[in-house]
Structure formats: C-alpha cells, structure tokens
Amino acid sequence: MWNITIFASGNGSNAENIFNYFKNSKLIRIGLVITDNPKAFVIERCRRQSVPCLVLSQRLLDDSDFMLGVLRDFRTNFVALAGYIKLIPEYIVTAFDHRIVNIHPSLLPKHGGKGMYGKRVHQSVIDSNDKESGITIHFIDNDYDRGPTIFQAKCPVLPNDTADTLAERVHALEYEHYPKIIEDTIIKVLGQ
Ligand code: GAR
C-alpha cells in the first residue's frame, strides 16, 4: 500500500476528488493532508472524510527534522500538491525526488510562476487573448510551476469567458485527469 500526502492551501476540491478516487483502492491511500492555511476549506473536507489534516506554520514547514519526521510517521511514499500556494522546501524536494507532483491550471510554461494561483491564472489567460487553456501535471523542482511535464490537457477559451467560467472548464479537466495521472505515476515510479 502506497501512502500519499497532499499539500493544499485553499478550497480543496481537487484534494476531495483525489480522496474519492482512491476510496476503494487496495494500492493507494491518502494518509495525510498538510495545509499552511488555518482558514482553508480543505480542513473541513478532511474532517468530513476522516482524513488526517495538519495545519502547519511557516516555522514548522521550514523545520526539516520536524517535517521529514511527520512525512515518515505518516509513511509518505508520494506527495501531490493540490492548490498549494507556497514553495515546497528544497529538503522535501530532494527527499522525494520524482515523487512530488503538482497540478497547474494552465498550459505551462505559460501563466505559471510565483503568485500565479487559482483565478489569477485564468485572468492572465483571458488578458493574453489566448484561444486555449488547460492543465499541466508535472514533477516539481525548486521553483514555482516548473519541473518535467507528465501530462497536459487542453480546453478552449471562449469569447465571453470570465476567470470564473474558464476556471470551471479547467477544474473539470483537473477532476477528470489528476487522480488517474497520480495513480499511473505512482505505479511507474513505485510499482504495484
Ligand atoms: C486548482 O485549479 C489548481 O490547479 C490550482 O489551484 C486550484 C486549487 O483549487 N493550483 C495552482 O494554481 C498552482 N500554481 P482547489 O483548492 O479547489 O483544488
């Protein structure tokens, strides 16, 4: 059995979609959610689904002994970011080399980088008059929204789109693909 730890900062709809996808899996379980945001709705989603959730201050997130201890205690084999706003500390990226994936709501390398999160990404796509957008799932490295791409899927940007209507279309792609890509990647990297 492989254990995933999810990092999330906000609403947590992707995190919940991942919980549901793996609910009956004999290979993969969600062992822990970590959030940096005490007001994140993902905390409530974890409570409802009985998934352990830790709200951690920046001081603890920066404490490598503490964090690697937590990840070890929850038997973390793989990490998935689901709307996590901060940079994952370098010592975690090193410890989980090619075992941390992120989802970004645009076709990277376009509309990524520090501060490009949630609705801001969709507004940037609209402001650039792009005709298509989509999702990128990638391994992380030590910078925001970088690292080798695993998967992309596209959707159109329609003439009357607002950041909200585009977000809805992109979210649908996230729900459709992210759990499956996590599963495939875990099987490829860790085996079954
Ligand atoms: C998702 O659209 C995710 O792709 C994005 O934040 C949203 C979180 O929604 N991530 C980024 O922008 C990372 N740079 P959720 O909390 O409802 O899953």
Confidence band for 117, pLDDT divided at 50, 70 and 90: confident
Q: What mean pLDDT comes out for the span 30-50?
A: 98
pLDDT in tens, 142-190: 887 889 999 999 999 999 999 999 999 999 999 999 999 999 999 999 9
On whether both 123 and 185 belong to a single domain, the answer is yes
Q: How far is CA 133 from the centre of its chain?
A: 18
pTM of the model: 0.96
pLDDT (0 to 100) of residue 97 = 93
On whether both 171 and 108 belong to a single domain, the answer is yes
Structure tokens that stand for 76 in this block = 């973390």
122 as an active site residue: the answer is: no
pLDDT (0 to 100) of residue 181 = 98
On whether both 112 and 88 belong to a single domain, the answer is no
On whether both 58 and 110 belong to a single domain, the answer is no
User: Ligand 1 atom closest to Cα of 102?
Assistant: 13
On whether both 92 and 111 belong to a single domain, the answer is no
On whether both 60 and 131 belong to a single domain, the answer is no
On whether both 91 and 66 belong to a single domain, the answer is yes
14 within some domain = yes
On whether both 91 and 110 belong to a single domain, the answer is no
* CB distance 158 to 127 below 8 Å: no
Domain residues for the domain of 46 are: 1-97
Q: Which residues pair with 33 in a beta bridge?
A: 6, 53
User: Ligand 1 atom closest to Cα of 9?
Assistant: 16
User: Ligand 1 atom closest to Cα of 41?
Assistant: 16
Confidence band for 118, pLDDT divided at 50, 70 and 90: confident
pLDDT (0 to 100) of residue 186 = 97
Query: Measuring CA to CA, how many Å separate 128 from each of 8, 11, 174?
Result: 28, 26, 22
Alpha helix (H) residue ranges in 35-162: 42-49, 58-61, 64-73, 90-95, 119-127
Domain boundary among 64, 97, 130: 97
Ligand 1 surroundings by CB, under 6 angstroms:
8, 10-14, 82-83, 103-105, 116-118, 121, 145, 171, 174
**98, 104, 171, 177: the active-site residue:** 104
On whether both 86 and 126 belong to a single domain, the answer is no
Mutate to test the pocket of ligand 1, among 85, 171, 177 (most ligand atoms within 8 A of CB): 171
82 within some domain = yes
Angstrom distance (rounded) from CA 170 to CA 157 = 10
Structurally, the chain folds into a number of domains equal to: 2
On whether both 30 and 88 belong to a single domain, the answer is yes
65 within some domain = yes
Mutate to test the pocket of ligand 1, among 104, 114, 181 (most ligand atoms within 8 A of CB): 104
Angstrom distance (rounded) from CA 120 to CA 32 = 28
Domain boundary among 65, 97, 129: 97
143 within some domain = no
Residue 75 has pLDDT above 90, yes or no: yes
CATH of the domain at 155: 3.40.50.170
Give the CA diameter of the chain. Answer: 50
Can you tell me whether residue 149 is helix, strand or coil?
strand
